Chains A and B, each alone.
Chain A
């Protein structure tokens, strides 16, 4: 079982307190944008997901804790979390992720 850091509780808690909520940073189109979207764009929004071997930005929900959603970068090969961050923070750049990794390795 993974230990996951919730950026709101600022605590590492066992995975069973959390629910995985899919790829992060997928912006739901607003009403006007939806009107303008064709089937291919809808399909991308609905069904196409990053399914990366490596560092993956994803949403988690601290369902049995503070009840907040947050985002995290995790390596999908080692299942190691690199960093959790609050909703509203932008998708981290590759350079930012590298910096976090360097910090973690001290």
Chain B
């Protein structure tokens, strides 16, 4: 079934009750060429690209809950690529290139909206560091421009740019190609696309072990629904990646923290782009339904609880009200948490592991939604070729031994 104006119209006539199933729920076969663990955007995307780009269609995606129920369905959907380092520019910009044609390619509207991302500078340090980012980005061909306070206000009319505030707006960095996308659609679109190409998506099937042969290479995964054989396993389980790696006897430089977000009651369109204020730690955008979408910070302790503490949310709301007093009277409707896997340098680990046949895509922490198509493509490439692409080669595990860190943590000094 292909979505088109005609199919929309025809289904409207029958009250939208006859749409066919988008992706069948499969029971596992005995064996696959590749098993992907984790049906988030990254895992589903990897399965899709394995089948569509790299010619491997005998693939299963195994998910412990429902697809898209992890961080993919819990994030604030900010997309941007204006990171400092060359390695980051390449991988995040690769993702942006793929975001561009994704809805057409999948014949599924992922609602990627290039409404722009504006990062506000509130002090001299911000100004200097953002300008440095702008220059570094331009050298890497990443669009990012420096704006004066007046230019910021042109984009965001309700922005108070008077300079006698506690956190005056001293300018901003603006990436027009940044924006948001609909998170669920990304998971559903990849799931539908992958299914069509023959990939089995197996939900409610937790992986509880990784079986290795006498030579150490992987033989398959033990799951709640029994053993599934595969010579190649790609793990893309975000906050649970340490747990999966431990099943293969590996210890990874990861810590898992709760990260929360919240949405307000829906209102008329007012926030024209994504607005971030790193210094005060407030970021906000508006969904197409009209809700303000607000991201909070991580809790201080490691956890797998998928919920965080209320004082973190309270702090976030205080920051939002400080920067945007116009929202003081808004009521918040829902808040929730996801578990994010954080590496010491805040850059992902994407590539081969010391175990033959085991590939990993993890450590995206607080900021991997934007990378979804890029990370998925790179994981698929690495699995298909048993070697990393040059874009993801720097994101190896060995950097924590050799010292070639990609230290976006120090570059941003906040969650990103």
Query: Which of A's residues lie within 8 Å of B, judged by CB?
Result: 1-2, 15-16, 19-20, 39-40, 42-44, 46-49, 51-53, 56, 58, 74, 76-79
Contact = CB atoms under 8 A, between A and B. Distances in A.
Interface residues of B, number: 23
B246 to A, nearest CB: 8
Contact of A19 (B300, B303, B401): B300
Given A56-B302, A78-B305, A49 B401 contact: no
A51 B256 contact: yes
A1 B302 contact: no
Given A46-B344, A76-B256, A76-B302, 11 more contacts: A19-B300, A48-B252, A49-B255, A51-B242, A51-B255, A53-B304, A58-B301, A76-B304, A76-B305, A78-B305, A79-B305
A39 B400 CA distance: 9
Interface pairs A-B: 8 shortest CB-CB: A51-B242, A47-B253, A20-B300, A20-B301, A43-B401, A1-B309, A47-B400, A53-B304
A78 B307 CA distance: 10
Task: Determine the main DSSP class of A at the interface with B.
Answer: mixed
Contacts of B401: 39-40, 42-43
A53 B243 contact: yes
Contacts of A16: 311
A95 B256 CA distance: 26
Interface string B298-321: 001111110001110000000000
A16 B252 CA distance: 29
B304 A39 contact: no
Interface string B34-73: 0000000000000000000000000000000000000000
B253 A2 contact: no
Contacts of B403: 39
A77 B305 contact: yes
Task: Determine the main DSSP class of B at the interface with A.
Answer: loop
Contacts of A78: 305
B309 A15 contact: yes
Interface of B: 240, 242-243, 251-256, 300-305, 309-311, 344, 400-403
15 contacts: A15-B309, A40-B401, A42-B401, A48-B253, A51-B243, A51-B252, A51-B254, A51-B255, A53-B242, A53-B243, A74-B301, A76-B303, A77-B303, A77-B304, A79-B301
B251 A48 contact: yes
A25 to B, nearest CB: 15
A1 B301 contact: no
A49 B253 contact: yes
Contacts of B344: 46-47
A1 to B, nearest CB: 5
Contacts of A39: 401-403
Contact of A2 (B251, B255, B309): B309
Nearest to A56: B302
A20 B300 CA distance: 6
B253 A1 contact: no
A1 B243 CA distance: 25
Contacts of A48: 251-253, 400
B228 to A, nearest CB: 22
A32 B194 CA distance: 55
Contacts of A58: 301-302
Contacts of B256: 51, 76
